[in-house]
Amino acid sequence: MHEREPLQDPTTRYPVPDLEGQPPIAHPGLTSDMRTRPDHGERGYRGAGRLKDRRALVTGGDSGIGRAVAVAFAREGADVAVSYLPEEEADAQESLRLIEEAGRRALPLPGDIRSEEHCRALVDSTVDAFGGLDILVNNAAYQMATPGGISDITTEQFDRVMKTNLYALFWLCKFAVEAMPPGSTIVNTSSIQGTNPSPSLMDYATTKAGIVDFTKALADDVAKRGIRVNAVAPGPIWTPLIPATMPPEQYREFGKDVPLGRPGQPAELAPAYVFFASDESSYITGEILGVTGGTPFT
DSSP letter for each residue of 238-262: -STHHHHHS-HHHHTTTTTTSTT-S
Does an H or E element contain 168, and which? helix 168-179
204: annotated active-site residue: yes
**Per-residue burial over 95-130, b = 16 or more CB atoms within 10 Å of its CB, e = otherwise:** bbebbeebebebbbbebbbbebebbebbbebbbebb
CA 286 – CA 235 distance, rounded (Å): 19
Query: Catalytic pick from 14, 45, 142, 204?
Result: 204
Task: Report the SS3 class of residue 202.
Answer: helix
Give Cβ neighbours of residue 198 (< 8 Å, ≥ 6 apart): 205
State the catalytic residues: 204
